[in-house]
Each structure stands twice: as C-alpha cells, then as structure tokens.
Amino acid sequence: MKELVFATNNKHKLEEVRAILKNRFKVLGLSDISCNEEIAETADTFEGNALLKAEYVYKKYGFPCFADDSGLEVAALNGAPGVKSARYAGETKNSLDNIQKLLQELQGVQNRSACFRTVIALMMDDQVHYFDGKICGTITEKPRGSGGFGYDSVFVPEAYLSTFAQLRPEEKNKISHRAIAINKLICHLNKNSE
C-alpha cells in the first residue's frame, strides 16, 4: 500500500484521517518517519504555512506528504488573529489568554462576524495541490461550554445557537473547517489513486 505522510504531531487529527483512508493509503505521522524537529511556520498565510510543512517533509524524507494550517479570522479585526491564532496572546500558546485578548479587542464592537479557515497543502509527484475549508459564524460576548479547544467556547457557527464548545465533538467534526478541507483532500486522493 502507498505511504503518505500527514505532517502533524496531533494524534487525534492523524487517527481521524487514518481511519478514512485505511483501504487506500498507509498514513504516517511525523514520529513514524522519525521527524522530530519543529518545522518553522513563518509564512503569513495559511497556504504558505501548510506548504512549508508539506514541502519540508517531501524534500527531506522523500514521502508524498500533506500538512494543514488553520485559524480564526475576525472581520472587525481585519482578519486577525488569522495565522497567529495559536500565539495571539504570546508564545505560550495559551487558549484562555487568547480568548481573553480576543474578547477585549471586541469589547463594544457590534460586528461579531468571524470564520474559521483551514488550508491543506498536498505535495505529491512534484506537484502541490491545495484544499480549503471555511465555516463562518459569530463571536460571543462571553465563553460558553467546556468541550473542544482553542477558540471553540466563543464561536457560534451560522444557523446554530450553541458554541463549538457546547456541540458534541461528532457534530462539530461534521461541519468544521477542518472536516470540509479533509473531505476535499480525500475526494482528490480517492479519484487520483485508482
């Protein structure tokens, strides 16, 4: 079976993709190929960062590889925190600090529109393909719910009343930006590996 690297150390993301592609690809994580170095995410777009990671593995280790990059874009903040979502309030990447900073920036602001975006870059046969996913909604005044991670407790997806942190994980995973991008990647791989 053809091997494909998902350039992530996130076990949850890896298992999710592994389960879906199990009959077509053997999906390896970074630790499976002994890639222990931190791959710098220095680009200023999701596309750029996803490509940096996928290209690094493709060139150094010789495996076809895909990588993802995601974040929250808030309209009233001109798209911030965007690519800086993980470290919005500092290098400690603390979610509670990030949420606190976001709510402070939006204090008194009427326009609470925001979108989560994911971009996946796939490097295979010397070509790069991109797959994107987006879900729009609004930012609450206060955090609600205890599930999920990152900004989940302050994001209400369009047509819902609950925050991502109040939804069951299965429900979030059906509609999320990441699910949309991953489904596009899987469609592409299924079509092109017959």
The 148-177 contact track toward ligand IMP, x by CB under 6 A, reads: xxxxx-----------x-----------x-
Told to check if 86 binds ligand IMP by CB under 6 A, we report yes
d(CA 11, CA 7): 11
Part in contact with ligand IMP (CB under 6 A); list of ranges 14-22, 66-74, 139-147, 182-190: 66-74
List 6, 25, 56, 116, residue binding ligand IMP (CB under 6 A): 116
List 69, 119, 157, 189, residue binding ligand IMP (CB under 6 A): 69
Told to check if 73 binds ligand IMP by CB under 6 A, we report no
Active site residue 69: yes
Residue number, 125 or 159, with CB nearest to ligand IMP: 159
d(CA 51, CA 68): 8
Q: Which residues pair with 67 in a beta bridge?
A: 121
Instruction: Tell me if residue 88 falls in helix, strand or coil.
Output: coil
d(CA 26, CA 17): 10
CB of 1 vs ligand IMP, minimal distance in Å:
27
Cβ neighbour number for residue 189 with a 10 Å cutoff: 21
> Residue with CB nearest ligand IMP?
150
CB of 176 vs ligand IMP, minimal distance in Å:
5
Separation in Å, CA 186 to CA 18, 47, 54, 181: 11, 18, 16, 9
CB of 104 vs ligand IMP, minimal distance in Å:
16
- CA-based max dimension of the chain: 55
d(CA 163, CA 157): 7
Task: List active site positions.
Answer: 69
Q: Which residues bind ligand IMP (CB under 6 A)?
A: 69-72, 85-86, 116, 148-152, 164, 176
